[in-house]
Every structure is written in structure tokens, then in C-alpha cells.
Amino acid sequence: MQPTPKTRAAKPRLTEQIATELRDQIQRGELSPGERLPSEAKLIEAYGVSRTVIREAVSALKVEGILASRQGAGVFVQRTAIKEPMPEAPFSGSYEQLSDIIEVLELRMAVEIESAALACQRMTFAHQARLYEALKRMGAEVAEGHLGAEADYQFHLAIAEATNNPHYVEFLKFLGNKTIPRARVTRTAESPEAQQEYLEKLLEEHRLIFEAIVSRDPDNARHAMRSHLTQSLSRYHKLLS
């Protein structure tokens, strides 16, 4: 079934609007679990937005576990795709959902602070290149007003891989769509300017983590990761209250 075209809105909101529309179609049963998503070209034509916006919206739904790529076949709706719609205001997230985000962030602090330190000691040039590419991609997407959620996830996954301990990787893959909170909560009450400022602050936090790790400074890496996750906790505590 073809998606219903949407009109343009403020740039930082475009990705969220497309992702919400696709999510709603899945929840309404218009796109069934196991069904192939319309081609990128058809989505661009239907929504009248750029290829980057479509890719970012699809990436956000991949992070949520709603969509998944199959090599050589396209993007498909996951059989475990969510069924219950999310509330819309003042942000898309229930009390239970925000509580879960906070609990996951606390769990991540117990694991990822030390993984950043281990990455300093065990990282190869290949690991460093992957970490750099994830940060570069996140920066490009944020500069265009997009969420950068999947690139964010790949950044944290690259740190886990750099520990050369497969259990750190398994941990993040186990968390899946819960790893990146903003892929689950839409800040609909914020102005485009406020949201862009928020994304740029997140990007700077990731830059500091990157710089500490490539400098092979375990103490600074722990500090940068702790600061990032602590500030994330503070942000979601404010939303909860």
C-alpha cells in the first residue's frame, strides 16, 4: 500500500514526521509484518522530501526494531513490530516508557563507562576508523537537522567492539532499540531551534568521548562517557517530571 503524502514542515521535524507516519501505517496494519517497505524512490515521491530524510526516518525505525534490512532484498517490517500507538503530547512517550529509558541508561552506565576505558587500551586502527565514520555520519545528519539515531548506535557499538570483548557487543545488541532513547521518544513540544540545540549538544558529548578514546586516555574516556550518560539521565528525568 502506498504511503499517504505529507506536506513539508520545519526541517528538524521532517524525519520524525515520516518515521511517525510509517510507524502508524504498521500499527494500523497497512504495512504488515514481513512485508517489504516501498522503495526509496517511491517514498521520496510520496512525501516530497529528500533521500536523506527518508533514509534517516527508516534508520530510526531500524533502531526501534520496527524495520530491518535484508541484503539484496530491501527493507522489511519486522515480525516483532510494535502494535500499540504512542501518545503524541507533550512528547511521544508514556510514563512507563520514560521510566524504562531511565532504567536502561542506568544499566548502560554500569557497562559503557568501563567499555570506553577498555577501548582505549585495546582499540585497533580498524576500530578507530569505524568509530570515526560513525561520528562523522552522526555529525552530517545532525547538521541537516536529523536525529542521527542509527549513527549514534553504531558509535556506541564501535566502542564495544574496540574492547575486543564480545560480551560488550552482545550487551548492546541485546538492548537493541532501547540503546538510543531519542529513537523512542519524540520531543513534540520543542521548537525546531531547541531540538537542533539538543542534537548539537549530544554530538559534542560524542566528540569528547571519541577524542578521549583515540588519545588512549582511559580516565578521560570514563569521564566523557559518564558525563554523556549522566546528562542523558538528567534530560529524561526532566521529561518524566
What the chain holds in terms of domains, given with CATH numbers, is 11-77 (1.10.10.10), 95-240 (1.20.120.530)
Cell triple for residue 99?
521510566
Please, what is the end-to-end C-alpha distance for the chain in angstroms? 40
Give the per-residue pLDDT at 84: 44
Give 49's DSSP letter: -
Name the phi and psi angles at 31, rounded to 5. Answer: -120, 115
Cβ atoms within 10 A of the Cβ of 84, count?
A: 6
| Closest listed residue to residue 70, CA positions, set 106, 122, 16, 34 | 34
Q: What is the pLDDT along the chain (241 residues), one digit of tens a residue?
A: 455 444 433 344 687 788 888 888 887 778 888 888 898 898 998 888 888 888 888 887 876 778 888 877 888 888 655 544 433 333 344 556 788 889 999 999 999 999 999 999 999 999 999 999 999 999 999 998 888 888 999 999 999 999 999 999 999 999 887 888 877 665 555 677 888 888 999 999 999 999 999 999 999 999 999 999 999 998 888 877 6
CB-based burial of residue 161 (10 Å sphere; 0-12 exposed, 13-18 middle, 19+ buried)?
Answer: buried
Give the per-residue pLDDT at 91: 38
Residue recorded with cell 520543542 = 190
Confirm if 229 and 103 have CB atoms less than 8 A apart: no
Cell triple for residue 233?
539521565
Give the per-residue pLDDT at 241: 61
Identify the three-state secondary structure at position 87. Answer: coil
Q: How far apart are CA 7 and CA 46, in angstroms?
A: 10
Q: How far apart are CA 76 and CA 68, in angstroms?
A: 5
pTM of the predicted protein model: 0.64
Q: Which DSSP string corresponds to 139-167?
A: HHHHHTT---HHHHHHHHHHHHHHTT-HH
